[in-house]
Amino acid sequence: MNEHSAPTANAMTVDVEDYFQVSAFESYVSRENWKNFAGRVEHNTDRILEMFSAHQVQATFFTLGWVAEHYPDLVKRIVSAGHDLASHGWDHRRVTNLTRQEFATDLKMSKEKLEDVSGTEVNGYRAPSYSFTRENEWTHDVLLEQGYAYSSSIAPIKHDLYGIPDAPRFSHRYAEQRILELPITTVRLLNKNYPCGGGGWFRLYPYGVSKWAINRVNHKDQEPAIFYFHPWEIDPDQPKIDNLDTRTRFRHYQNLEKMEGKVVKLLKDFDWQTIPQVYADQLKSAA
């Protein structure tokens, strides 16, 4: 592959959760209090659907079972627009806080609810906050037991809250080679992995840095990139959570007002498809 060619497509993904459900707010907003917040996930996700439609992009939507229960019509609109529906767990509990049986129950509940609402099969999963770690290496075996085919749950970086720094950077297999793991994309510089697949880093970095990094992955590594963002990230008017510590406040609210414009640039500058489209051959061989 020469310097100016690239894979036919990168994988665009969306983690469908509301602003008050993020892992960083767990110690500030209890799940029992979620009912007291006015939901914004439906409106924000509809805006994303409009963005994708305008640029003829199809994506994988990792969606909470909780969202499917409360906004079934939204899930139906995602599927009717031709996108891939996948699970983000039931109510955004980090897998590091679950036992093996609790994780199995979470997977089963979310898969059944998403499939019941959408009328389509759900084969993919992304752990909240990339919470597959060295301490819970049974996770992929449980995914196989619960009928999943692929996961995008590992961040091959060093981070204070998650990550497996020495994990493979690109697609690899677990659980009798039958679960395809698709780590969030990193760029390798000076023997260290740096995140370039979305989230807070994308909001923090100048757009040109992210564009360069994805191009480097496509050209130097000759691999597709996997990008992710959340509906709340294009919503600078979301209500503010009180009494957050400085780090959490910065990570959540940094550059929200710039996010939508930067995503639109990505949609224009790269070719994007769903995970099952980009990794069709690997998923077929794993079946």
What is the C-alpha separation between 222 and 50, in angstroms, rounded? 30
Q: Which residues touch 160 (CB under 8 Å, ≥6 apart)?
A: none
For every residue of 34-66, which 3-state class applies, written as one string?
HHHCCCCHHHHHHHHHHHHHHCCCCCEEEECHH
147 phi and psi angles, rounded to 5 deg? 90, 20
What's the confidence (pLDDT) of residue 222? 95
Kindly state the average pLDDT of the residues 143-156. 96
Residues 51-67: tens digit of each pLDDT: 999 999 999 999 999 99
What is the C-alpha separation between 126 and 111, in angstroms, rounded? 12
What's the confidence (pLDDT) of residue 52? 98
Residues 99-111: tens digit of each pLDDT: 999 999 999 999 9
CB 225 within 8 A of CB 10: yes
Kindly state the average pLDDT of the residues 84-93. 98
* pLDDT range class, residue 165, cuts 50, 70, 90: confident
Residue 1 in this model has a pLDDT that exceeds 70: no
Residue 39 in this model has a pLDDT that exceeds 60: yes
Residue 198, Cβ density class (10 Å: 0-12 exposed, 13-18 middle, ≥19 buried): buried
What is the C-alpha separation between 269 and 27, in angstroms, rounded? 38
Quick one: what percent of the chain has pLDDT higher than 70?
Answer: 95
Residue 87 DSSP one-character state = E
CA angle 108, 113, 118 (to 5 degrees): 130
Give me the CATH code for the 10-286 domain, please.
3.20.20.370
* pLDDT range class, residue 164, cuts 50, 70, 90: confident
Cα 254 from chain centre: 19
Residues 232-269: tens digit of each pLDDT: 999 999 999 999 999 999 999 999 999 999 999 999 99
Choose from 81-90, 171-180, 186-195 the range with maximum mean pLDDT.
81-90
- Residue 177, amino acid: Q
Kindly state the average pLDDT of the residues 217-223. 95
- Residue 21, amino acid: Q
What's the confidence (pLDDT) of residue 174? 92
Residue 167 in this model has a pLDDT that exceeds 90: no
Return the SS3 of 80: helix
